[in-house]
Structure 1
Amino acid sequence: MNDKIISRAGEIVAQNTGEETYCALALIDSDGYPTVSTITASKADGINWLTFCTGLGSDKTDRITKCNNASVCFNSNKYNITLVGTIDIITDPDVKKEMWYGGLINHFSGPQDPNYCVLRFKTERYNLLVDWKEAKGRL
């Protein structure tokens, strides 16, 4: 049963990844409190991992440097996909190029921009409500 729900959740994540899509990313701030930002997931592998694009020195990267625990949530009136895990800052030029999408040109000069970086989230556990079926567990 969980495999079907996990697979369906992965399909939903894929539909909500890329330009003009949004999800919520929760990180821990410098005072130890969770903070949530709306952000575009650039790519994903089901619910296993997701990537986001942002700037070095942003609030997000500062928070990740201090504590890389994170949570991601995709939701609508038809589903709630909550993923919990860790997130890392990636500056590898090949990864930056692979994760680049058109909307980022509003913030960066291109994938080679030294301020542009990729955040890679890796799921450790999940809480899924998809098609009115629930699954909780660890990857």
Structure 2
Amino acid sequence: MNQEEFKQKIKDIVDSNPIGTLSTISGNKPHSRYMSFQREDITLFTATSKQTHKVEEIQENPNVHVLLGYEDWNDPYIELQGTVTVRDDKELKEDFWHDMMKNWFSGPEDPNYIILEIKPSVYRLMNTKEREPVEMEL
């Protein structure tokens, strides 16, 4: 599988399976939670509140792990290792806003609404016909 095929597979999995886990480190131990992800190319974004433990954990250690995909035994899925940047710029918040977020925020101007930008350092494509994980370091 060449790099373009690999990237397309990543995009397809994120687009069809936007719910996954985001793992951070707290007190030298992993902490995972379900999140909804969006992407620009192969960089991931997820919305959260400034007032969450995950933001505190990211400020202490920006390294994260994400799992996406795997609805059935034979489905491919991705693992991502990367670093997070907390983004609060108005244009990005408006671009990523959708009405489901009204459950947590008053609107894209809500001061607690932020975006986590996850820059991948390693992607692993798992459960593919190659039988072994396919890895791409960035």
Q: What is the CA RMSD across the aligned residues, in angstroms?
A: 1.4
Deviations 1:31-58 (A, max 9, x none): 11111110111x2034x21110010021
CA distance in 2 between counterparts of 1:101 and 1:131 reads: 32
Check whether the contact 1:126–1:137 (CA below 8 A) recurs between aligned residues. yes
Match of 2:113 among 112, 116, 123: 116
Aligned structure 1 segments of 4 or more residues deviating by more than 4 angstroms? none
Match of 2:90 among 89, 93, 98: 93
Aligned partner of 1:44 in structure 2 is 39
CA distance in 1 between counterparts of 2:99 and 2:105 reads: 10
Aligned partner of 2:20 in structure 1 is 23
Deviations 1:76-96 (A, max 9, x none): 131120010101111111111
Q: Extract unaligned runs of 5+ from structure 1.
A: none
CA distance in 2 between counterparts of 1:24 and 1:90 reads: 19
Matches within 5 A, 1:1-139: 1-3=1-3, 4-17=5-18, 22-29=19-26, 31-41=27-37, 43-46=38-41, 48-76=42-70, 77=73, 78-133=75-130, 134-139=133-138
The answer to which of 50-59 and 124-133 deviates more is: 124-133
Q: CA deviation at 1:62?
A: 0.8
Check whether the contact 1:2–1:135 (CA below 8 A) recurs between aligned residues. no
TM-score if structure 1 supplies the norm length? 0.88
CA distance in 2 between counterparts of 1:7 and 1:100 reads: 24
Deviations 1:80-117 (A, max 9, x none): 20010101111111111111111110011000000111
Identity %: 27
Q: Extract unaligned runs of 5+ from structure 2.
A: none
* 1:125–1:83 CA distance, 2 compared to 1 (3 A): same
CA distance in 2 between counterparts of 1:102 and 1:58 reads: 21
CA distance in 2 between counterparts of 1:15 and 1:94 reads: 25
